[in-house]
Structure 1
Amino acid sequence: MTTVIRRRGAAAVLTVVLGLVLGSCASGPSQVNAAAIVDGRTIGVGQVQELVDRAVKAEPAAQTLADQHKLGDLSREVLTQLVMHELITSYTAQNPVTVDPAQLSQVAEQIRASTEPLPTDGTAAPEAIVATAATKVFEPEFLARDYLALAAIGDRELNSVKVTFDYAVLAPGQDGATGSLREKALAKAQQLAVGLDRAAAVQKQDTADGELQWETITTTPTAQEGLESSALFGTGPNTVVAFQPNQQNASWIIALIREREVSAPQAGAAKNPLQVAIPFGQRVLQSWVDRVGVKISPRYGVFDQVAMRLAAGDAESTGVLVPVKVDAKP
């Protein structure tokens, strides 16, 4: 059976930890001065700005972001982390998880030891500055709790999910058409979303023309190393997802999700490595976004469900999710 393209490895545990932040938010939906509203809870603009100001003071290298007019990236990182915390809180209120106190302390110490100041001579990458500065404004124990909660969420489903989808890979130089791969991938996603019958006709024509080679696969996250935490495994049936797996690989994956099944976890099954369970926990929360809602103030950008984080705008998102009009005629 043909499998989708792969990319190497998974994020290191520490890198994942640096992307998790615990924040407290006000109750009650209010769009006045709201940076975001998650499941009816408001994250205030003032709270985000206060954290950004503290982050700049806590990480000297962050002055580089100000010099390069990239403090917007830091604001989006802080807000992403706050949004993720609210999603974790909302999800675990209905689906409780257990965090081991000893493991929490161990992870907190790892986080505390990792936040050494970055070089201030301009050699530190902006992405590293953003992640480190955002991390420093919260207590390591708070970070560790969200980190381990996500791992527990992901561990429940990682070995129980099975997905069936049609997919094609759009690679550089695949055809002579003009325009970016992103534009072509998003346009193809919209074509497929017209209806299931129409999607079948489009796929058949693509294959006949040699434009794209469509395959159908039933697979699990653990069988797709490097893609196990991608939107392929968090997207519901009758939805088209188009995304670029990573910045190092210019190819795009276009997939029409046919079925997503979650079986009961096996009793006594071994836990998955944290560096795999954490990002899959974020992927489980993808469908929770649809259920509880995430609204982002335009001043911060948009919430990209494919990446499960904020993006500056739709054009900067890592992909799209497009529901298929199941009752549409070809």
Structure 2
Amino acid sequence: MMRIMRRSGALVAVAASSLLLAACGGGPSQVGAAAIVDGQSISLDGVQTKLDTLIKSDKFVQQLQQQRKLDLVSRAIVSREVLYKLVDKAAQGEGLRVDERNLDKYLPSPESAQTQGSDDPAAGVEQSVDKAFAPQEAARHRMLLAELSAKYIGRVSLTVDRVQLQDPAKARDLADRIAREPQQATALMQQAAAGGEPPSLNEAVSNNTPQSLALFAEPGSVLFTPSNAQQSQQSEQAAGGPYQVIVIKKRDLVALPPDLDPTKFQPDQLIQYSKYLLRPTALATGINLNPRYGQWDTVNMQAGPADEAAVAGKVLTPKSSSS
């Protein structure tokens, strides 16, 4: 049976961002908005209120405040708000429904002292952020995320081309060039890798591996990402790479493996990969993030620090340079 017990999610490096709020053009005004998703504004005041509430009531957040790491919490709140809007939209297209009779089992898990006492604060931040949202609201969205994963887990088979480079600027430029000239993808990868590790072409990503969900994107999409980004983005970036450029050549929905039954998974097991299934929705609807929260990382589906924008995950569609 496919194992998906390991916690997922890229961990972002700690960084403070003091960029001023900038207004934008047409559509909802960016003034007063923490983010705009599919034309819907997420209130800046609402995000700040949630943060203030946690500062007053949550001991773990108070510790982060003393360490000057509140940016971790504020970005996590914004990320959660964005994901909730994305899953609401995806649920409409996928025909997902909330079964009120089973809602209680999707309530956020009780706080784990062991997790919040670890050296890595990311999991503890997520648990703290759970408390910033109404329990029933969190449960409804957790159920939708679990339903989304249950629909695709074990069924996504990918064929990809990928190349690994040490220089993030070179890798990011390669991703941009492939998106502009998708017919030249193989030649561009081989040229970029000259003298180093050759690209892996027509690589099969089995439906029986978690990576098939972590790389979920429309065929033709080009991903720029630190290697093993879903495990430890911070350590890869600190080491200067490596970085991957991945082209999604083919995506198929196949039959479930006979030994895999999505109904046997616990909600947390399903939810940990569901945000990657929202990637096509995010790209189709657009996410305009307030610069004080950094930049939206489309690979890891979260807000990332502004000073890591040059190496943040990026997804492009053919003949497009938007992420």
Judging changes above 3 Å, is the alpha-carbon distance between structure 1 residues 117 and 251 closer, same or farther for their aligned structure 2 residues? closer
Q: Which amino acid aligns with 1:296?
A: L
Q: Which residue is 2:16 aligned to?
A: none
2:279 to 286, 303, 311: 286
Judging changes above 3 Å, is the alpha-carbon distance between structure 1 residues 30 and 259 closer, same or farther for their aligned structure 2 residues? same
User: Does structure 1 residue 56 correspond to structure 2 residue 83?
Assistant: no
Q: Which residue is 1:237 aligned to?
A: 219
Q: Which residue is 1:114 aligned to?
A: 111
Q: Which residue is 2:251 aligned to?
A: 260
Q: Which residue is 1:211 aligned to?
A: 196
Does the Cα contact within 8 Å between 2:279 and 2:301 map onto a contact in 1? yes
**Alpha-carbon distance, 1:319 to partner:** 1.9
User: Does structure 1 residue 320 correspond to structure 2 residue 314?
Assistant: yes
d(CA) in 2 for partners of 1:73 and 1:49? 13
Judging changes above 3 Å, is the alpha-carbon distance between structure 1 residues 103 and 181 closer, same or farther for their aligned structure 2 residues? farther
Q: CA RMSD in A?
A: 3.4
**What does the per-residue CA deviation read over 1:122-167, in whole Å, with 9 as the maximum and x for residues that have no partner?**
9764434422321222233332221121111122223332322211
**Alpha-carbon distance, 1:85 to partner:** 0.8
Does the Cα contact within 8 Å between 1:59 and 1:118 map onto a contact in 2? no
Judging changes above 3 Å, is the alpha-carbon distance between structure 1 residues 124 and 260 closer, same or farther for their aligned structure 2 residues? closer
Q: Which amino acid aligns with 2:246?
A: A
**Alpha-carbon distance, 1:220 to partner:** 4.6
User: Does structure 1 residue 195 correspond to structure 2 residue 189?
Assistant: no
d(CA) in 1 for partners of 2:269 and 2:202? 22
Farther off after superposition, 276-285 or 32-41: 276-285
What pairs up with 1:38-53 in 2 under 5 angstroms?
A: 38-53=37-52
d(CA) in 1 for partners of 2:115 and 2:204? 41
SS at match of 2:149: helix
Does the Cα contact within 8 Å between 1:167 and 1:254 map onto a contact in 2? yes
Does the Cα contact within 8 Å between 1:157 and 1:265 map onto a contact in 2? no
Judging changes above 3 Å, is the alpha-carbon distance between structure 1 residues 61 and 276 closer, same or farther for their aligned structure 2 residues? closer
d(CA) in 1 for partners of 2:114 and 2:135? 16
Q: Which runs of 5+ in 2 are unaligned?
A: 11-26
Q: Which residue is 1:157 aligned to?
A: 152
SS at match of 2:213: coil
Q: Which residue is 1:85 aligned to?
A: 84
TM-score by length of 2: 0.75
d(CA) in 2 for partners of 1:33 and 1:262? 41
Q: Which amino acid aligns with 2:251?
A: R
Farther off after superposition, 139-148 or 50-59: 139-148
Does the Cα contact within 8 Å between 1:56 and 1:133 map onto a contact in 2? no
Does the Cα contact within 8 Å between 1:99 and 1:145 map onto a contact in 2? yes
d(CA) in 2 for partners of 1:118 and 1:265? 33
d(CA) in 2 for partners of 1:286 and 1:297? 19
**Alpha-carbon distance, 1:59 to partner:** 0.8
Q: Which amino acid aligns with 1:96?
A: G
**Alpha-carbon distance, 1:294 to partner:** 1.6
**Alpha-carbon distance, 1:183 to partner:** 3.4
Q: Which residue is 2:172 aligned to?
A: 186
d(CA) in 2 for partners of 1:312 and 1:296? 12
**Alpha-carbon distance, 1:310 to partner:** 0.6
Q: Which residue is 1:3 aligned to?
A: none
SS at match of 1:254: strand
Does the Cα contact within 8 Å between 2:220 and 2:318 map onto a contact in 1? yes
Does the Cα contact within 8 Å between 1:165 and 1:218 map onto a contact in 2? yes
User: Does structure 1 residue 166 correspond to structure 2 residue 158?
Assistant: no
How many residues end up aligned between the 2 structures?
289
d(CA) in 2 for partners of 1:62 and 1:105? 26
What pairs up with 1:15-26 in 2 under 5 angstroms?
A: none
d(CA) in 2 for partners of 1:12 and 1:44? 30
**Alpha-carbon distance, 1:115 to partner:** 5.7
d(CA) in 1 for partners of 2:48 and 2:172? 34
Q: Which residue is 1:308 aligned to?
A: 301
d(CA) in 1 for partners of 2:118 and 2:245? 37
Judging changes above 3 Å, is the alpha-carbon distance between structure 1 residues 97 and 74 closer, same or farther for their aligned structure 2 residues? same
Q: Which residue is 1:297 aligned to?
A: 290
**Alpha-carbon distance, 1:48 to partner:** 0.5
| Structure showing greater Rg | 1
